Amino acid sequence: MARPIVHDGNLRRRLLDSAASLIARDGASVVSLRGLAAAAGTSTTAVYSLFGGKTELLSAVLDDGFASFTASQQEAAAGGLEALGRAYRTWALEHPVLYGLMFGGSLPSQVPCRPTPGAVEPSIGPLFAAVAAALPGAPEDEIASMVGVVWGQVHGLVSLELAGAPAAGWAWDAAYDAALRQIGRSLGR
């Protein structure tokens, strides 16, 4: 006989939200399933039932982060490259720990988890579309190379800002505006 479900339909969402909060507060390496279950008001059995274990839970947190990031990029897509760049920065500044886990690689070094490929791939789609629109008729490999250049520029600035480099008081808004203008110029925009 199958076991009865001992949790409500919103528990998965609460666990993901609680896990993201605990990671932001304490770091991924110290998050325990027992502590997470207590924070979400449930049992560790429910956590195992929904996710299978800590690795799968943390992978789901990464997937959830990529879904949120992708949604922000899709919302900004109509505004073109500059809007995408601003949305990238805004999302990263609003979710600094999650951004670091997703793009900084610190979580997989602490816990053997990875986002699913289906969660990651859509996140770059709006940028590919914007670069392709800026380079009509360009070969796919040229578009892909330029996507890497644009993403690297935006990612680098955001990562430096989140790291507090080079110093407090740096004019990040001005630096970001200049970078986005330069990206636009390099693409003939």
pLDDT tens for 150-161 read 999 999 999 999
Closest CA to 61 of 75, 72, 42, 47: 47
Query: What sections of 27-139 are H helices per DSSP?
Result: 33-40, 44-51, 54-76, 80-94, 96-104, 106-110, 117-120, 125-134
Q: What is the CATH number of domain 1-52?
A: 1.10.10
pLDDT score of 11 more than 60: yes
Domain locations along the chain: 1-52, 62-186
Task: Report the pLDDT value the prediction gives residue 88, as an integer from 0 to 100.
Answer: 97
- pLDDT confidence of 8, banded at 50, 70, 90? low
Mean per-residue pLDDT for 110-136? 88
Task: Report the pLDDT value the prediction gives residue 106, as an integer from 0 to 100.
Answer: 57
Percentage of the residues of the chain whose pLDDT score is greater than 90: 54
- Asked whether the domain spanning 62-186 has the same topology as the one spanning 1-52, the reply is no
Q: What is the architecture of the domain spanning 62-186?
A: Orthogonal Bundle (1.10)
Mean per-residue pLDDT for 163-167? 79
Higher per-residue pLDDT: 108 or 17:
17
